[in-house]
A and B are shown apart, each in its own frame.
Chain A
Amino acid sequence: MPDTTQNQTSTGSLLRFENVTIRFDDLVAVNNVSFEMSAGETRVVLGSAGSGKTTLLKAAIGLIRVDSGRVFLLGRDITDLDERQLFEIRSQVGVLFQEGGLFDSINIAENVAYPLVNRKTNPLPPDVVETKVEDALRFVELAHTLEKYPNELSGGMRRRVGIARAVITEPPLVLYDSPTAGLDPITATTIMALIAKERDSLNAANLIVTQRYQDGQLMANFRYNRMDGHLEPVPKNGHGDSEGSNPTRTIFMVMKEGHLIFEGAQARLEASTDAYISKFVPQHHN
Protein backbone atom coordinates (compact mmCIF):
# COMPACT_ATOMS: atom_id res chain seq x y z
CA MET A 1 0.00 0.00 0.00
CA PRO A 2 1.59 3.27 -1.08
CA ASP A 3 -0.50 5.41 1.28
CA THR A 4 0.82 4.22 4.64
CA THR A 5 2.62 7.51 5.24
CA GLN A 6 -0.56 9.44 4.68
CA ASN A 7 -2.34 7.20 7.16
CA GLN A 8 -0.21 8.46 9.97
CA THR A 9 -0.72 12.10 9.17
CA SER A 10 -4.49 11.79 9.46
CA THR A 11 -5.05 9.68 12.55
CA GLY A 12 -7.84 10.88 14.80
CA SER A 13 -9.86 12.40 11.99
CA LEU A 14 -12.71 10.41 10.53
CA LEU A 15 -13.15 12.49 7.44
CA ARG A 16 -10.94 15.10 5.90
CA PHE A 17 -11.31 17.11 2.72
CA GLU A 18 -8.25 18.90 1.35
CA ASN A 19 -8.98 21.52 -1.31
CA VAL A 20 -11.59 19.33 -2.95
CA THR A 21 -13.05 20.45 -6.26
CA ILE A 22 -15.70 18.51 -8.19
CA ARG A 23 -17.00 19.48 -11.62
CA PHE A 24 -19.94 18.19 -13.61
CA ASP A 25 -19.27 19.22 -17.21
CA ASP A 26 -19.29 23.02 -16.97
CA LEU A 27 -20.68 23.26 -13.45
CA VAL A 28 -18.39 23.43 -10.43
CA ALA A 29 -20.41 21.54 -7.83
CA VAL A 30 -17.84 21.68 -5.04
CA ASN A 31 -15.23 24.39 -5.17
CA ASN A 32 -11.98 24.09 -3.20
CA VAL A 33 -13.55 22.79 0.02
CA SER A 34 -11.43 21.78 2.99
CA PHE A 35 -12.54 20.61 6.40
CA GLU A 36 -11.73 18.00 8.95
CA MET A 37 -14.12 16.05 11.10
CA SER A 38 -13.07 14.11 14.17
CA ALA A 39 -14.65 11.36 16.22
CA GLY A 40 -17.77 12.23 18.22
CA GLU A 41 -18.56 15.34 16.21
CA THR A 42 -21.85 16.24 14.62
CA ARG A 43 -21.56 18.21 11.41
CA VAL A 44 -24.61 19.89 9.95
CA VAL A 45 -24.16 20.97 6.33
CA LEU A 46 -26.69 23.63 5.35
CA GLY A 47 -27.28 24.94 1.85
CA SER A 48 -30.00 25.49 -0.71
CA ALA A 49 -30.72 23.02 -3.50
CA GLY A 50 -27.79 22.76 -5.90
CA SER A 51 -25.29 24.18 -3.44
CA GLY A 52 -23.16 21.03 -3.65
CA LYS A 53 -23.96 19.59 -0.23
CA THR A 54 -25.14 16.17 -1.48
CA THR A 55 -22.17 16.01 -3.84
CA LEU A 56 -19.94 16.69 -0.84
CA LEU A 57 -21.52 13.79 1.05
CA LYS A 58 -21.18 11.42 -1.89
CA ALA A 59 -17.57 12.40 -2.43
CA ALA A 60 -16.86 11.55 1.21
CA ILE A 61 -17.37 7.85 0.45
CA GLY A 62 -16.05 7.92 -3.09
CA LEU A 63 -19.42 7.59 -4.83
CA ILE A 64 -18.42 10.68 -6.78
CA ARG A 65 -14.80 11.16 -7.83
CA VAL A 66 -13.06 14.42 -7.00
CA ASP A 67 -11.40 16.35 -9.80
CA SER A 68 -8.71 17.81 -7.57
CA GLY A 69 -7.81 17.77 -3.91
CA ARG A 70 -7.79 14.77 -1.58
CA VAL A 71 -10.35 12.95 0.56
CA PHE A 72 -9.37 10.98 3.66
CA LEU A 73 -11.95 8.60 5.13
CA LEU A 74 -11.34 6.77 8.42
CA GLY A 75 -7.70 7.74 8.15
CA ARG A 76 -7.21 6.43 4.62
CA ASP A 77 -6.64 8.43 1.49
CA ILE A 78 -9.51 7.27 -0.72
CA THR A 79 -8.94 9.73 -3.56
CA ASP A 80 -7.26 7.27 -5.91
CA LEU A 81 -8.64 3.96 -4.66
CA ASP A 82 -10.45 1.87 -7.25
CA GLU A 83 -14.06 0.81 -6.76
CA ARG A 84 -13.17 -2.61 -5.35
CA GLN A 85 -10.91 -1.15 -2.67
CA LEU A 86 -13.59 1.41 -1.86
CA PHE A 87 -16.25 -1.26 -1.21
CA GLU A 88 -14.42 -2.45 1.85
CA ILE A 89 -13.85 0.96 3.40
CA ARG A 90 -17.35 2.19 2.52
CA SER A 91 -18.94 -0.74 4.30
CA GLN A 92 -17.49 0.68 7.54
CA VAL A 93 -19.52 3.88 7.16
CA GLY A 94 -23.30 4.19 7.57
CA VAL A 95 -25.22 6.13 4.94
CA LEU A 96 -28.84 7.26 4.78
CA PHE A 97 -29.89 8.31 1.28
CA GLN A 98 -32.37 11.02 0.47
CA GLU A 99 -35.45 8.82 0.11
CA GLY A 100 -33.97 6.04 2.25
CA GLY A 101 -32.38 4.27 -0.72
CA LEU A 102 -34.02 0.96 0.25
CA PHE A 103 -33.94 -1.91 -2.25
CA ASP A 104 -37.54 -2.42 -3.31
CA SER A 105 -37.03 -5.98 -4.51
CA ILE A 106 -36.35 -7.30 -1.00
CA ASN A 107 -38.31 -6.92 2.23
CA ILE A 108 -37.54 -4.66 5.19
CA ALA A 109 -35.77 -7.35 7.23
CA GLU A 110 -33.52 -8.23 4.29
CA ASN A 111 -32.85 -4.56 3.62
CA VAL A 112 -31.73 -3.94 7.18
CA ALA A 113 -29.70 -7.16 7.24
CA TYR A 114 -27.99 -6.28 3.95
CA PRO A 115 -24.88 -4.57 5.40
CA LEU A 116 -24.28 -7.48 7.78
CA VAL A 117 -24.89 -10.23 5.24
CA ASN A 118 -22.91 -8.67 2.42
CA ARG A 119 -19.75 -7.61 4.17
CA LYS A 120 -16.77 -9.67 3.22
CA THR A 121 -15.04 -9.80 6.58
CA ASN A 122 -16.53 -11.28 9.71
CA PRO A 123 -19.79 -12.83 8.46
CA LEU A 124 -22.32 -13.44 11.23
CA PRO A 125 -24.46 -16.54 11.77
CA PRO A 126 -28.09 -16.09 10.60
CA ASP A 127 -29.63 -16.09 14.09
CA VAL A 128 -27.30 -13.28 15.24
CA VAL A 129 -28.21 -11.29 12.12
CA GLU A 130 -31.89 -11.83 12.86
CA THR A 131 -31.55 -10.55 16.43
CA LYS A 132 -29.58 -7.54 15.28
CA VAL A 133 -32.16 -6.73 12.61
CA GLU A 134 -34.94 -6.89 15.17
CA ASP A 135 -32.99 -4.68 17.55
CA ALA A 136 -32.22 -2.15 14.84
CA LEU A 137 -35.87 -1.98 13.77
CA ARG A 138 -37.03 -1.71 17.37
CA PHE A 139 -34.58 1.18 17.73
CA VAL A 140 -36.44 3.06 14.99
CA GLU A 141 -39.79 1.83 16.38
CA LEU A 142 -40.67 -0.23 13.32
CA ALA A 143 -40.34 -3.77 14.71
CA HIS A 144 -43.68 -4.77 13.16
CA THR A 145 -42.60 -4.15 9.55
CA LEU A 146 -40.06 -6.98 9.14
CA GLU A 147 -41.99 -8.79 6.40
CA LYS A 148 -43.21 -5.71 4.57
CA TYR A 149 -41.76 -4.30 1.36
CA PRO A 150 -40.45 -0.72 1.02
CA ASN A 151 -43.33 0.38 -1.23
CA GLU A 152 -45.81 -0.53 1.51
CA LEU A 153 -44.27 2.02 3.89
CA SER A 154 -44.71 5.78 4.06
CA GLY A 155 -41.87 8.17 3.26
CA GLY A 156 -41.07 8.75 6.92
CA MET A 157 -41.09 5.03 7.70
CA ARG A 158 -38.79 4.30 4.76
CA ARG A 159 -36.34 6.80 6.15
CA ARG A 160 -36.51 5.21 9.58
CA VAL A 161 -35.74 1.84 8.00
CA GLY A 162 -32.90 3.57 6.14
CA ILE A 163 -31.53 4.77 9.48
CA ALA A 164 -31.78 1.24 10.90
CA ARG A 165 -29.83 -0.06 7.92
CA ALA A 166 -27.23 2.70 8.20
CA VAL A 167 -26.46 2.07 11.86
CA ILE A 168 -26.83 -1.72 12.12
CA THR A 169 -23.07 -2.27 11.82
CA GLU A 170 -22.49 0.38 14.52
CA PRO A 171 -20.22 2.45 12.28
CA PRO A 172 -18.00 5.18 13.71
CA LEU A 173 -19.33 7.63 11.11
CA VAL A 174 -22.86 7.99 9.74
CA LEU A 175 -23.76 10.21 6.78
CA TYR A 176 -27.31 11.51 6.38
CA ASP A 177 -28.38 12.95 3.04
CA SER A 178 -31.34 15.30 3.57
CA PRO A 179 -33.04 13.08 6.16
CA THR A 180 -36.06 15.37 6.47
CA ALA A 181 -36.54 16.49 2.84
CA GLY A 182 -40.14 16.25 1.72
CA LEU A 183 -41.50 15.28 5.13
CA ASP A 184 -44.07 17.12 7.18
CA PRO A 185 -42.65 19.03 10.18
CA ILE A 186 -43.83 16.49 12.76
CA THR A 187 -42.37 13.47 10.93
CA ALA A 188 -39.22 15.49 10.28
CA THR A 189 -38.80 16.10 14.01
CA THR A 190 -39.31 12.38 14.69
CA ILE A 191 -36.58 11.53 12.21
CA MET A 192 -34.16 14.06 13.72
CA ALA A 193 -34.96 12.78 17.20
CA LEU A 194 -34.01 9.30 16.02
CA ILE A 195 -30.75 10.59 14.59
CA ALA A 196 -29.96 12.29 17.91
CA LYS A 197 -30.86 9.07 19.71
CA GLU A 198 -28.57 7.12 17.41
CA ARG A 199 -25.75 9.61 18.00
CA ASP A 200 -26.01 9.48 21.78
CA SER A 201 -26.53 5.70 21.97
CA LEU A 202 -23.69 4.67 19.67
CA ASN A 203 -21.43 7.69 20.08
CA ALA A 204 -21.01 7.82 16.34
CA ALA A 205 -19.94 10.92 14.46
CA ASN A 206 -22.60 12.32 12.14
CA LEU A 207 -22.52 14.32 8.95
CA ILE A 208 -26.00 15.63 8.22
CA VAL A 209 -26.79 17.39 4.98
CA THR A 210 -30.02 19.38 5.17
CA GLN A 211 -31.92 22.45 4.02
CA ARG A 212 -33.67 22.87 7.35
CA TYR A 213 -31.93 24.81 10.05
CA GLN A 214 -34.27 23.28 12.66
CA ASP A 215 -32.60 19.90 12.02
CA GLY A 216 -29.25 21.31 13.04
CA GLN A 217 -30.73 23.17 15.96
CA LEU A 218 -32.16 19.93 17.32
CA MET A 219 -28.83 18.16 16.96
CA ALA A 220 -26.99 21.01 18.67
CA ASN A 221 -29.32 21.56 21.62
CA PHE A 222 -30.87 18.21 22.46
CA ARG A 223 -29.50 15.04 23.86
CA TYR A 224 -31.00 11.58 24.18
CA ASN A 225 -31.44 10.53 27.77
CA ARG A 226 -30.94 6.78 27.97
CA MET A 227 -32.54 6.62 31.42
CA ASP A 228 -36.02 7.81 30.56
CA GLY A 229 -35.79 7.31 26.79
CA HIS A 230 -36.54 10.88 25.75
CA LEU A 231 -34.79 13.79 24.17
CA GLU A 232 -33.95 16.54 26.58
CA PRO A 233 -32.49 19.99 26.11
CA VAL A 234 -28.79 20.22 26.78
CA PRO A 235 -28.19 22.50 29.81
CA LYS A 236 -26.43 25.69 28.77
CA ASN A 237 -23.51 26.44 31.06
CA GLY A 238 -22.87 30.14 31.26
CA HIS A 239 -19.22 30.41 30.33
CA GLY A 240 -19.64 30.57 26.56
CA ASP A 241 -16.60 31.79 24.66
CA SER A 242 -16.85 33.23 21.16
CA GLU A 243 -17.98 29.80 19.92
CA GLY A 244 -20.57 29.55 22.69
CA SER A 245 -20.94 26.45 24.81
CA ASN A 246 -21.15 23.39 22.59
CA PRO A 247 -21.61 20.23 24.66
CA THR A 248 -23.01 18.23 21.72
CA ARG A 249 -19.95 19.15 19.63
CA THR A 250 -22.16 20.25 16.79
CA ILE A 251 -20.51 22.20 14.03
CA PHE A 252 -22.41 23.92 11.27
CA MET A 253 -21.17 24.24 7.72
CA VAL A 254 -22.87 26.35 5.07
CA MET A 255 -22.47 25.64 1.36
CA LYS A 256 -23.18 28.25 -1.30
CA GLU A 257 -22.72 27.49 -5.00
CA GLY A 258 -20.03 24.94 -4.28
CA HIS A 259 -18.12 27.08 -1.76
CA LEU A 260 -17.91 26.37 1.93
CA ILE A 261 -18.75 29.83 3.24
CA PHE A 262 -19.14 29.10 6.94
CA GLU A 263 -17.82 26.59 9.43
CA GLY A 264 -18.39 26.94 13.15
CA ALA A 265 -20.66 26.51 16.15
CA GLN A 266 -24.29 27.56 16.43
CA ALA A 267 -23.69 30.78 18.34
CA ARG A 268 -21.38 32.12 15.66
CA LEU A 269 -23.74 30.99 12.90
CA GLU A 270 -26.66 32.82 14.48
CA ALA A 271 -24.56 35.92 14.88
CA SER A 272 -23.64 35.92 11.21
CA THR A 273 -25.00 38.79 9.15
CA ASP A 274 -24.43 37.15 5.77
CA ALA A 275 -27.58 37.46 3.66
CA TYR A 276 -27.35 33.88 2.36
CA ILE A 277 -26.90 32.43 5.85
CA SER A 278 -29.79 34.41 7.28
CA LYS A 279 -32.04 32.73 4.70
CA PHE A 280 -31.62 29.55 6.74
CA VAL A 281 -30.95 30.86 10.18
CA PRO A 282 -33.37 32.98 12.17
CA GLN A 283 -31.24 35.81 13.55
CA HIS A 284 -31.14 36.59 17.21
CA HIS A 285 -28.45 39.02 18.12
CA ASN A 286 -28.22 38.64 21.87
Chain B
Amino acid sequence: MLDFLKPSVSALQDFCILAGRAIRNVVRPPHYESDILLQMDIIGVGSLPIVILIGFFTGVVITMQMARALAQYGAVDQVGPIVAITLVRELGPVLTAILVAGRNASGIASELGSMKVTEQIDAMRALGTDPIQKLVTPRMIATAVMLPMLTIVADFVGLIGGWSIARLSIGLPSSQYWTSAYQALEYNDITQGLLKPFVFAFMVSLVGCFYGLRTTGGTQGVGHATTQAVVVSSVWIFVITSLLTRIFVNLH
Protein backbone atom coordinates (compact mmCIF):
# COMPACT_ATOMS: atom_id res chain seq x y z
CA MET B 1 0.00 0.00 0.00
CA LEU B 2 2.80 2.36 0.92
CA ASP B 3 4.95 1.21 -1.99
CA PHE B 4 4.97 4.69 -3.50
CA LEU B 5 7.04 5.83 -0.50
CA LYS B 6 9.76 3.27 -1.12
CA PRO B 7 11.93 5.30 -3.52
CA SER B 8 11.87 8.37 -1.25
CA VAL B 9 12.69 6.40 1.87
CA SER B 10 15.49 4.53 0.14
CA ALA B 11 16.88 7.82 -1.27
CA LEU B 12 16.81 9.32 2.23
CA GLN B 13 18.60 6.27 3.55
CA ASP B 14 21.28 6.52 0.84
CA PHE B 15 21.65 10.22 1.60
CA CYS B 16 22.18 9.51 5.30
CA ILE B 17 24.80 6.86 4.48
CA LEU B 18 26.63 9.32 2.23
CA ALA B 19 26.43 12.07 4.87
CA GLY B 20 27.70 9.69 7.55
CA ARG B 21 30.67 8.62 5.44
CA ALA B 22 31.51 12.16 4.39
CA ILE B 23 31.46 13.40 7.99
CA ARG B 24 33.47 10.43 9.25
CA ASN B 25 36.12 11.14 6.61
CA VAL B 26 36.75 14.57 8.17
CA VAL B 27 38.86 12.90 10.85
CA ARG B 28 40.24 10.04 8.75
CA PRO B 29 43.35 10.24 6.59
CA PRO B 30 44.12 10.85 3.79
CA HIS B 31 43.13 14.53 3.75
CA TYR B 32 43.00 16.33 0.43
CA GLU B 33 43.90 19.85 1.60
CA SER B 34 44.48 21.19 -1.90
CA ASP B 35 41.00 20.06 -2.95
CA ILE B 36 39.50 21.77 0.11
CA LEU B 37 41.29 25.03 -0.74
CA LEU B 38 40.25 24.82 -4.38
CA GLN B 39 36.61 24.29 -3.40
CA MET B 40 36.78 27.14 -0.87
CA ASP B 41 37.93 29.37 -3.68
CA ILE B 42 35.16 28.22 -6.03
CA ILE B 43 32.37 28.26 -3.45
CA GLY B 44 33.47 31.14 -1.22
CA VAL B 45 35.42 33.61 -3.29
CA GLY B 46 33.45 32.76 -6.42
CA SER B 47 30.10 33.50 -4.74
CA LEU B 48 31.28 36.76 -3.16
CA PRO B 49 30.21 39.21 -5.92
CA ILE B 50 26.67 37.87 -6.22
CA VAL B 51 26.30 37.63 -2.42
CA ILE B 52 27.37 41.27 -2.04
CA LEU B 53 25.00 42.38 -4.76
CA ILE B 54 21.98 40.49 -3.44
CA GLY B 55 22.80 41.38 0.19
CA PHE B 56 22.92 45.07 -0.60
CA PHE B 57 19.59 45.15 -2.41
CA THR B 58 17.93 43.03 0.26
CA GLY B 59 18.89 45.68 2.83
CA VAL B 60 17.64 48.41 0.52
CA VAL B 61 14.29 46.71 -0.04
CA ILE B 62 13.63 45.85 3.62
CA THR B 63 14.39 49.42 4.64
CA MET B 64 12.07 50.91 2.04
CA GLN B 65 9.22 48.55 2.91
CA MET B 66 9.65 48.87 6.66
CA ALA B 67 10.00 52.65 6.58
CA ARG B 68 6.58 52.85 4.94
CA ALA B 69 5.01 50.44 7.44
CA LEU B 70 6.69 52.12 10.43
CA ALA B 71 5.61 55.58 9.27
CA GLN B 72 2.03 54.65 10.14
CA TYR B 73 3.08 54.39 13.80
CA GLY B 74 5.46 57.33 13.60
CA ALA B 75 8.37 55.00 14.32
CA VAL B 76 10.53 55.44 11.20
CA ASP B 77 13.59 55.86 13.42
CA GLN B 78 13.21 52.19 14.44
CA VAL B 79 14.08 50.99 10.94
CA GLY B 80 17.70 50.12 11.93
CA PRO B 81 16.78 47.42 14.48
CA ILE B 82 14.24 45.88 12.13
CA VAL B 83 16.68 45.63 9.25
CA ALA B 84 19.36 44.20 11.53
CA ILE B 85 17.14 41.56 13.08
CA THR B 86 15.48 40.38 9.85
CA LEU B 87 18.80 40.21 8.05
CA VAL B 88 20.88 38.54 10.73
CA ARG B 89 18.25 36.08 11.86
CA GLU B 90 16.61 35.08 8.64
CA LEU B 91 17.18 36.73 5.32
CA GLY B 92 20.98 36.81 5.39
CA PRO B 93 21.35 33.07 6.05
CA VAL B 94 18.46 31.99 3.82
CA LEU B 95 19.22 34.17 0.80
CA THR B 96 22.93 33.37 0.90
CA ALA B 97 22.17 29.67 1.17
CA ILE B 98 19.71 29.89 -1.74
CA LEU B 99 22.36 31.61 -3.84
CA VAL B 100 24.96 29.01 -2.95
CA ALA B 101 22.43 26.25 -3.65
CA GLY B 102 21.78 27.71 -7.08
CA ARG B 103 25.43 28.31 -7.82
CA ASN B 104 27.25 25.48 -6.10
CA ALA B 105 24.82 22.63 -5.43
CA SER B 106 24.17 22.72 -9.18
CA GLY B 107 27.88 23.01 -9.96
CA ILE B 108 28.76 20.13 -7.67
CA ALA B 109 25.94 17.95 -9.01
CA SER B 110 26.86 18.55 -12.63
CA GLU B 111 30.59 18.05 -12.06
CA LEU B 112 30.17 14.83 -10.08
CA GLY B 113 27.39 13.74 -12.43
CA SER B 114 29.64 14.12 -15.47
CA MET B 115 32.35 12.21 -13.66
CA LYS B 116 29.86 9.47 -12.87
CA VAL B 117 28.59 9.05 -16.43
CA THR B 118 32.10 9.08 -17.92
CA GLU B 119 33.15 6.37 -15.41
CA GLN B 120 35.64 8.64 -13.66
CA ILE B 121 34.06 7.77 -10.31
CA ASP B 122 34.48 4.05 -11.05
CA ALA B 123 38.03 4.72 -12.24
CA MET B 124 38.76 6.49 -8.99
CA ARG B 125 37.46 3.55 -6.98
CA ALA B 126 39.38 1.14 -9.19
CA LEU B 127 42.58 3.11 -8.58
CA GLY B 128 42.11 2.81 -4.84
CA THR B 129 40.80 6.30 -4.03
CA ASP B 130 37.60 6.78 -2.06
CA PRO B 131 35.43 9.18 -4.12
CA ILE B 132 33.66 10.30 -0.94
CA GLN B 133 36.98 11.20 0.64
CA LYS B 134 38.37 12.84 -2.48
CA LEU B 135 35.25 14.58 -3.80
CA VAL B 136 32.48 14.83 -1.20
CA THR B 137 34.33 15.63 2.02
CA PRO B 138 36.38 18.55 0.59
CA ARG B 139 33.23 20.12 -0.87
CA MET B 140 31.39 19.67 2.41
CA ILE B 141 34.20 21.19 4.50
CA ALA B 142 34.68 24.06 2.07
CA THR B 143 30.96 24.91 2.08
CA ALA B 144 30.71 24.59 5.87
CA VAL B 145 33.54 27.11 6.26
CA MET B 146 32.55 29.51 3.50
CA LEU B 147 28.76 29.72 3.83
CA PRO B 148 28.79 31.27 7.37
CA MET B 149 31.42 33.72 6.17
CA LEU B 150 29.40 34.64 3.11
CA THR B 151 26.39 35.10 5.38
CA ILE B 152 28.33 37.54 7.57
CA VAL B 153 29.27 39.47 4.44
CA ALA B 154 25.67 39.46 3.22
CA ASP B 155 24.40 40.67 6.63
CA PHE B 156 26.92 43.47 6.73
CA VAL B 157 26.40 44.61 3.16
CA GLY B 158 22.62 44.42 3.74
CA LEU B 159 22.98 46.76 6.73
CA ILE B 160 24.95 49.14 4.52
CA GLY B 161 22.15 48.95 1.95
CA GLY B 162 19.63 49.77 4.68
CA TRP B 163 21.77 52.62 5.89
CA SER B 164 22.00 54.13 2.41
CA ILE B 165 18.19 54.32 2.23
CA ALA B 166 17.81 55.47 5.85
CA ARG B 167 20.34 58.23 5.26
CA LEU B 168 19.47 59.35 1.75
CA SER B 169 15.76 58.71 1.43
CA ILE B 170 14.40 58.81 4.99
CA GLY B 171 16.93 61.28 6.31
CA LEU B 172 17.79 59.36 9.47
CA PRO B 173 21.13 60.32 11.08
CA SER B 174 23.81 57.66 10.46
CA SER B 175 24.74 57.34 14.12
CA GLN B 176 21.15 56.66 15.11
CA TYR B 177 20.77 53.96 12.42
CA TRP B 178 23.96 52.12 13.31
CA THR B 179 23.62 52.45 17.12
CA SER B 180 20.04 51.23 17.20
CA ALA B 181 20.80 48.43 14.75
CA TYR B 182 23.79 47.30 16.80
CA GLN B 183 21.93 47.45 20.10
CA ALA B 184 18.99 45.48 18.76
CA LEU B 185 21.10 42.38 18.14
CA GLU B 186 21.41 39.83 20.92
CA TYR B 187 23.57 36.75 21.22
CA ASN B 188 20.55 34.64 20.38
CA ASP B 189 20.27 36.42 17.02
CA ILE B 190 23.95 36.06 16.23
CA THR B 191 23.94 32.39 17.23
CA GLN B 192 21.04 31.46 15.02
CA GLY B 193 22.38 33.68 12.26
CA LEU B 194 25.59 31.67 12.21
CA LEU B 195 24.23 28.25 13.08
CA LYS B 196 21.75 28.30 10.21
CA PRO B 197 24.31 28.78 7.41
CA PHE B 198 26.50 26.13 9.01
CA VAL B 199 23.65 23.59 8.91
CA PHE B 200 22.59 24.72 5.40
CA ALA B 201 26.18 24.24 4.22
CA PHE B 202 26.18 20.54 5.08
CA MET B 203 22.79 20.03 3.52
CA VAL B 204 23.46 22.01 0.31
CA SER B 205 26.87 20.45 -0.40
CA LEU B 206 25.76 16.92 0.46
CA VAL B 207 22.58 17.20 -1.62
CA GLY B 208 24.69 18.39 -4.56
CA CYS B 209 27.12 15.49 -4.14
CA PHE B 210 24.31 13.00 -3.55
CA TYR B 211 22.49 13.78 -6.79
CA GLY B 212 25.77 14.03 -8.67
CA LEU B 213 26.94 10.61 -7.52
CA ARG B 214 23.66 8.88 -8.36
CA THR B 215 23.49 10.26 -11.87
CA THR B 216 22.60 7.68 -14.48
CA GLY B 217 21.74 7.90 -18.14
CA GLY B 218 24.35 10.02 -19.85
CA THR B 219 24.28 13.76 -20.42
CA GLN B 220 20.54 13.97 -19.95
CA GLY B 221 21.00 12.41 -16.53
CA VAL B 222 23.50 15.14 -15.60
CA GLY B 223 20.92 17.83 -16.37
CA HIS B 224 18.31 16.01 -14.34
CA ALA B 225 20.68 15.58 -11.39
CA THR B 226 21.56 19.29 -11.46
CA THR B 227 17.91 20.37 -11.43
CA GLN B 228 17.05 18.01 -8.62
CA ALA B 229 20.00 19.15 -6.53
CA VAL B 230 18.91 22.80 -6.74
CA VAL B 231 15.22 22.13 -6.14
CA VAL B 232 15.74 19.72 -3.25
CA SER B 233 18.37 21.83 -1.51
CA SER B 234 16.27 25.00 -1.85
CA VAL B 235 13.24 23.29 -0.33
CA TRP B 236 15.30 21.92 2.53
CA ILE B 237 16.73 25.36 3.27
CA PHE B 238 13.22 26.59 4.08
CA VAL B 239 12.29 23.48 6.03
CA ILE B 240 15.47 23.66 8.11
CA THR B 241 15.18 27.37 8.75
CA SER B 242 11.60 26.92 9.96
CA LEU B 243 12.68 24.22 12.39
CA LEU B 244 15.68 26.16 13.67
CA THR B 245 13.70 29.37 14.01
CA ARG B 246 11.11 27.51 16.03
CA ILE B 247 13.81 26.21 18.37
CA PHE B 248 15.46 29.62 18.80
CA VAL B 249 12.18 31.46 19.32
CA ASN B 250 11.42 29.03 22.14
CA LEU B 251 14.85 29.54 23.66
CA HIS B 252 14.33 33.24 23.83
Binding site for B on A (CB under 8 A): 58, 61, 63, 83-84, 86-88, 90-91, 93, 95, 97-99, 101-104, 114-115, 118-120, 165
B111: nearest chain-A partner, CB-CB: A105
The residue from A61, A93, A101, A114 contacting B119, defined by CB atoms under 8 A apart: A101
Q: How many residues of B contact A (CB 8 A)?
A: 13
The residue from A88, A97, A119 contacting B123, defined by CB atoms under 8 A apart: A97
- Report the Cα distance A61→B115, complex, angstroms: 19
- Report the Cα distance A101→B129, complex, angstroms: 14
The residue from B120, B122, B127 contacting A91, defined by CB atoms under 8 A apart: B127
The residue from B118, B125, B127, B130 contacting A114, defined by CB atoms under 8 A apart: B127
B29: nearest chain-A partner, CB-CB: A120
The residue from A58, A83, A104, A118 contacting B127, defined by CB atoms under 8 A apart: A118
**Chain A residues with Cβ under 8 A from B123's Cβ?**
95, 97, 101-103
**B124 at the A interface (CB under 8 A):** yes
In the complex, the answer to whether B120 meets A84 with C-beta atoms within 8 Å is no
In the complex, the answer to whether B122 meets A58 with C-beta atoms within 8 Å is yes
Within 8 A of A (CB), among B95-138: 115, 118-120, 122-130
In the complex, the answer to whether B125 meets A99 with C-beta atoms within 8 Å is no
**Chain A residues with Cβ under 8 A from B127's Cβ?**
90-91, 95, 114-115, 118, 165
B131: nearest chain-A partner, CB-CB: A83
A-B pairs, 6 with minimum CB distance: A91-B128, A101-B123, A87-B128, A97-B119, A101-B119, A95-B126
**Chain B residues with Cβ under 8 A from A93's Cβ?**
126
18 contacts between A and B (CB under 8 A): A58-B122, A61-B126, A63-B122, A87-B129, A88-B128, A90-B128, A95-B123, A95-B127, A101-B120, A101-B123, A102-B120, A102-B123, A104-B120, A114-B127, A115-B128, A118-B128, A119-B128, A165-B127
In the complex, the answer to whether A90 meets B120 with C-beta atoms within 8 Å is no
- Report the Cα distance A97→B120, complex, angstroms: 9
B134: nearest chain-A partner, CB-CB: A118
- Report the Cα distance A99→B218, complex, angstroms: 13
**Chain A residues with Cβ under 8 A from B130's Cβ?**
83-84, 87
- Report the Cα distance A58→B121, complex, angstroms: 13
- Report the Cα distance A21→B126, complex, angstroms: 21
Output the least CB separation between B215 and chain A (Å): 15
A120: nearest chain-B partner, CB-CB: B128
- Report the Cα distance A107→B124, complex, angstroms: 15
**Chain B residues with Cβ under 8 A from A97's Cβ?**
119, 122-123, 126
A95: nearest chain-B partner, CB-CB: B126
B125: nearest chain-A partner, CB-CB: A63
- Report the Cα distance A259→B130, complex, angstroms: 31
- Report the Cα distance A118→B129, complex, angstroms: 7
In the complex, the answer to whether A99 meets B118 with C-beta atoms within 8 Å is yes
- Report the Cα distance A120→B119, complex, angstroms: 23
The residue from A58, A103, A119 contacting B120, defined by CB atoms under 8 A apart: A103
B128: nearest chain-A partner, CB-CB: A91
**Chain A residues with Cβ under 8 A from B120's Cβ?**
101-104
In the complex, the answer to whether B126 meets A90 with C-beta atoms within 8 Å is yes
- Report the Cα distance A12→B129, complex, angstroms: 27
In the complex, the answer to whether B118 meets A101 with C-beta atoms within 8 Å is yes
Output the least CB separation between A50 and chain B (Å): 14
B124: nearest chain-A partner, CB-CB: A103
In the complex, the answer to whether B129 meets A63 with C-beta atoms within 8 Å is no
